[in-house]
Amino acid sequence: MTGMPSSEIESPETGSSAEIEAFASNPALFAVLQQGARHMIELYDHFPRIGRLVAAQQKWLLTQAAYALHVQRNPADPLSGITASRLLDIIVEFGAASRNTATAFLAELLAYKLIRDVPGSPSKRSRPLEPTEISHEAMMLWFRGQMRSLDLLDGGERVTRLEANPEIFRRAQPIAAKRLIADGAWREPPLSISCFVWTEYGGLILDDFVSRIVNLVPEDGYHWVEDLRFAELSNHYSLSRTHIRRLFARAEALGSLGWQDRRNNRNKVWVAVSFIDDYKRWQSIKFCALDRAFGEAVRSIDAEKHRLQTNSDDAEPSDI
């Protein structure tokens, strides 16, 4: 199992420590994270195959990298965009996965029809690929959900601006993806979090678990989850109870959570404050990267509009 010791996370790649701490200390953050976790569950219910496929940190990184390559494709160059070699170069550069893992992941995406060959490609060796419509929709909805979370934190209007101009998404996603993939603190979260997200389907269970916490403010030194049933999780996410039990056993061994009374109240779980703090700081790295990427995308679009307007104003008037 990979992961970093629980400690204050610093991330020069995605933002300064002060910026990340500002997100982590926002009193509204935990409620927003719970709302975001519920949104992820909704996305899973709508796109179960995609939800299960990217519910581990390694595959999440691969997905973001692949989509960023697609968005940055040059239409004039039929060999640009997603290719196995380009994806492998990115992943290996940052140590996010092995070559075999990345190759197998692309094969899985092809088998599930989440990506496809680019039509009319002149090369059979490089085999350019592109996301299918369902993958586009899922990524856009994920990004919109993240912007909604940011808006809830600071009262911004990112979702409104995004809906008015989807180009923001196309420019912001690769910026954020590159920063998060390059950031070791995001790739390998604290052990309390990595015991979930670096396990197959663990991201789904972590989202579900966080969404069930009933008290935003600790009581008796703990957060609490009531009525947690492995059978319910197993049925909802089509996972074996053994796999789910193993995930929670790892978290319990780390002291992140535990059962109040296994004999008389097996379904009430205490959650350590340190676990929630680790989760908030880790998610704050993502929010900081996305916030910066959104701002950069908007500024680049505005600058482009300004240049076009300036060129138009400077044009010689026609004599006709």
- pLDDT at residue number 5: 45
**What is the C-alpha to C-alpha distance for residues 24 and 42, in angstroms, rounded to an integer?**
24
- pLDDT at residue number 14: 57
- pLDDT at residue number 318: 54
- pLDDT at residue number 40: 97
| First CA to last CA distance, the chain | 73
* Per-10-residue mean pLDDT, the chain, length 320: 43 68 97 98 95 91 93 79 83 78 88 87 72 96 98 98 97 96 94 96 97 95 94 95 97 96 76 98 98 97 89 61
**What is the C-alpha to C-alpha distance for residues 18 and 22, in angstroms, rounded to an integer?**
6
**What is the C-alpha to C-alpha distance for residues 290 and 296, in angstroms, rounded to an integer?**
10
pLDDT in tens, 80-90: 788 888 888 88
152-160 contacts: CB < 8 A, separation 24 or more? Answer: 152/28, 152/32, 152/35, 153/23, 153/26, 153/28, 153/29, 153/32, 153/287, 158/294
pLDDT in tens, 168-210: 999 999 999 999 999 999 999 999 999 999 999 999 999 999 9
- pLDDT at residue number 308: 84
